[in-house]
Chain A
Amino acid sequence: MKMVKGIFIILLFYFLGQGVSYLIDGLVPGNIIGMILLFLSLYFKALKPDYVKDVANAFTRNMAIFFIPAGAGLLGSYGLISKFWMSILIVCSVSTVLVIAVVAVIQQQMEKKRK
């Protein structure tokens, strides 16, 4: 019963998110809006966490499996990769280093300031 209820709630929020996404012209993907709505409902105590806990954990713990089909779609992206591999490598590595540095330095500085 609990499982069915949890799945229903998650699907309901997914559907609501898709609805909002449709209304704002698809600016933000529906599943992400659904995620924000679910979060807000839990935060403002409109929804008991217990209702979704088990299902949410089951869905998110093994999420990596769900991207395998898309990953295998790389098969059709040979052209894009062979043409731009250098660009991909540079962008990914430099930008990743920047994000690490910026987040860590700002967080540490703000903590120090407060003390």
Chain B
Amino acid sequence: MRALFESTEFMLLLVFGSYLFGQWVFKKTRIGLLHPLIISIAIIIAFLKISGISYQTFEKGSEFVSFMLGPSVVALGYVLYEQLAYLKGNVVSILTSVFIGSVVGIMSVIILAKLTGADQVLIHSLEPKSVTTPIAMSIAEQSGGNVSLTAVIVLFCGIFGSIVGPPILRVLGIKSSVAKGLAMGASAHGVGTAKAMEMGVIEGALSGLAIGLMGVMTALLIPIVHRLFS
């Protein structure tokens, strides 16, 4: 009986089922913090705790799902190619603003983390926090962070950014649609892009472009920063 619930098929059912349920709850409530991922993760953690099935068993059963993360990051190359059209006429300004955003994102994390007494593992888990989750997880894994923690931190930053983004843009007097979209995507990746789409078509498109640019730039910058400061 127990073996049945430790099987690959049940683990996959748990992953997909909890996510479907999360999507349903999110659609009904529209509360940012009740993101489908958070609900799904909470359900799985609760299930493992209550049933006493180990995380290792779950990890082994859901291996297939985790593996898919690799090829989907590769597939993002196609998405970035498609979004390239939105660079038109603003190439230099967009590349500059996202590049500086990436540098500020990485450096502010390192400085603030050290000031607040974080250890090395936590710093490496935090560094890619503005980048879309799959890329952030790969970066964190490479630099020795805690990948699970990174996944949740990134999600938290995304939700936070999508909530505080619009009022900050208003206070700063940002009128440009391109600037609004880039800022949302560069700081809050997918969650921010969902918000940017509500602001307008250009905002949504540029936010999507910023996700890809921010991901690539941050992935290339972090190893450089590590070399320079170690």
Q: Give A56 to B206 CA distance when docked, in angstroms.
A: 19
* CB atoms of A100 and B219 under 8 A apart: no
Q: Give A64 to B38 CA distance when docked, in angstroms.
A: 11
A-B contact count (CB 8 A): 309
Is B37 on the interface with A (CB-CB < 8 A)? yes
* CB atoms of A35 and B101 under 8 A apart: no
Q: Which of B12-69 contact A (CB under 8 A)?
A: 15-16, 18-19, 36-37, 40-41, 44-45, 48-49, 55, 58-59, 62-63, 65-66, 68-69
Q: Give A76 to B129 CA distance when docked, in angstroms.
A: 20
Q: Give A40 to B55 CA distance when docked, in angstroms.
A: 39
Is B199 on the interface with A (CB-CB < 8 A)? no
Rounded to whole Å, the gap between the CB of B48 and the closest CB of chain A is 6
Question: CB-CB < 8 A to A38: which residues of B?
Answer: 74-75, 77-78, 81
* CB atoms of B48 and A96 under 8 A apart: no
Q: Mark B195-230, 1 if CB is under 8 A from A, else 0.
A: 000000000000000100001100110010000000
Q: Give A95 to B105 CA distance when docked, in angstroms.
A: 6
Q: Give A87 to B37 CA distance when docked, in angstroms.
A: 23
* CB atoms of A103 and B55 under 8 A apart: no
Question: CB-CB < 8 A to A22: which residues of B?
Answer: none
Interface residues on A, range: 35 or more
* CB atoms of B78 and A34 under 8 A apart: no
* CB atoms of B15 and A74 under 8 A apart: no
* CB atoms of A111 and B108 under 8 A apart: no
* CB atoms of A106 and B97 under 8 A apart: yes
* CB atoms of B179 and A71 under 8 A apart: no
* CB atoms of B74 and A13 under 8 A apart: yes
Contact of B138 among A10, A31, A65 (CB under 8 A): A31
* 11 A–B contacts, CB within 8 A, in A order: A13-B77, A28-B219, A67-B137, A74-B45, A90-B116, A91-B118, A91-B126, A98-B108, A104-B182, A107-B93, A114-B93
Binding site for A on B (CB under 8 A): 15-16, 18-19, 36-37, 40-41, 44-45, 48-49, 55, 58-59, 62-63, 65-66, 68-82, 84, 90, 92-94, 96-98, 100-101, 104-105, 108-109, 112-113, 116-119, 121-122, 126, 129-130, 133-135, 137-139, 141-142, 146-149, 151-153, 155-157, 160-161, 164-165, 168-169, 172, 174-176, 178-180, 182-184, 186-188, 190, 210, 215-216, 219-220, 223
